[in-house]
């Protein structure tokens, strides 16, 4: 199943490849260190005592936790009520007023049931399906636009949202999930665990941020060289002529790692129409 909280860069399209890598495996814990949309965690086909989704960006871990703890299922009537409160999102100003309202709830940690619906709506309307926060911890992505529509949400999209939320809730009730919001560097694991490592893709010194630093990058590179737990790691080796030199050197010197090429081109960026050359890979120590 695809998470109803979907954005660009998620690994849903690679689920079959991932599940082939871990086929017939069993673990104590599956730990998704940078869970993002959660698509890998909810679709990975292994047996485990616990499935842990972690992300320092607290939005999705908190929403998933709220959904798992909520007794009621989602319904179209409640979704319609929220949409009608915002004039059916019939003009772009409705979106920006709604975004301000959503940010107020997010910054004060009001992760109630309505916030789950509201987040699903926000991510459908935002441009390029990108989730982006500014330094004030505010969601600042622009409006996708109405096109020829007189209001953004048609009946088919409303049904898709509600069905997606209910399917996610069913899945979260079927396995033992836990959701955390700690820094990935602080995550503890043992040799009986599976680590899913999908960090921000870093190629240059100027691409690091306060949330993902060179220390994080080096910590993860050390993990893929020097730990006994199984792992699946994603990154670019090359993008637009830039090479991740540290990662590339590890792969050249370590013949115990399996490398699976996922993509050799991508299109990304706000309003981008240009196809950019890349080498995106899955790296694992799980060998057939």
For the segment 157-202, what is each residue's pLDDT rounded down to a tens digit? Answer: 999 999 999 999 999 999 999 999 999 999 999 999 999 999 988 8
Number of residues that make up the chain: 288
Q: Whole-angstrom Cα distance, residue 259 to residue 286?
A: 10
pLDDT < 50 regions, the chain:
269-273, 275
242-243/230-239 β-pairing: antiparallel
d(CA 199, CA 242): 18
pTM score: 0.90
Tokens of 186: 């602080």
pLDDT the model gives residue 270: 45
Round to whole Å and give the CA distance between 193 and 185: 16
Domain count, the chain: 2
Closest CA to 63 of 174, 169, 138, 153: 169
The verdict on residue 102 lying in a domain is yes
User: What's the CATH code of the domain at 220?
Assistant: 3.40.50.150
Structure confidence at residue 208 (pLDDT): 66
CATH code assigned at 73: 1.10.1020.10
Residue 78's contacts (CB-CB under 8 Å, 6 or more residues apart) are 114, 117
Indicate whether 4 belongs to any domain: no
Cα–Cα dist 89/157, whole Å:
13
Domain range holding 89? 66-172
Domain boundary among 153, 172, 191: 172
């Amino acid at each position: 199943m695809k998470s109803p909280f979907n954005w660009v860069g998620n690994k849903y399209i690679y689920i079959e490849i991932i599940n082939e890598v871990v086929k017939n495996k069993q673990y104590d814990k599956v730990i998704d260190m940078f869970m993002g949309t959660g698509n890998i965690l909810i679709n990975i086909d292994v047996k485990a005592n616990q499935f842990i989704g972690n992300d320092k960006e607290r939005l999705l871990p908190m929403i998933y936790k709220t959904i798992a703890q909520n007794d009621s299922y989602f319904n179209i009537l409640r979704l319609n009520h929220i949409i009608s409160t915002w004039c059916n999102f019939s003009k772009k100003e409705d979106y920006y007023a709604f975004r301000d309202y959503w940010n107020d709830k997010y910054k004060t940690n009001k992760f109630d049931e309505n916030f789950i619906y509201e987040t699903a709506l926000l991510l459908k309307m935002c441009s390029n399906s990108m989730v982006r926060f500014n330094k004030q911890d505010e969601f600042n992505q622009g409006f996708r636009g109405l096109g020829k529509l007189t209001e953004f949400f048609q009946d088919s999209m409303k049904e898709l949202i509600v069905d997606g939320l209910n399917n996610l809730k069913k899945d979260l009730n079927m396995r033992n999930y836990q959701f955390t919001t700690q820094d990935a560097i602080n995550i503890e694991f043992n040799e009986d665990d599976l680590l899913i490592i999908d960090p921000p893709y870093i190629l240059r010194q100027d691409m690091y941020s306060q949330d993902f630093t060179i220390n994080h990058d080096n910590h993860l590179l050390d993990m893929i060289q020097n730990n006994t737990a199984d792992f699946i790691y994603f990154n670019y080796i090359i993008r637009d002529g830039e090479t991740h030199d540290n990662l590339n050197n590890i792969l050249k010197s370590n013949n115990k790692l399996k490398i699976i090429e996922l993509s050799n081109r991508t299109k990304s960026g706000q309003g981008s129409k240009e196809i950019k050359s890349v080498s995106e890979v899955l790296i694992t120590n799980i060998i057939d």
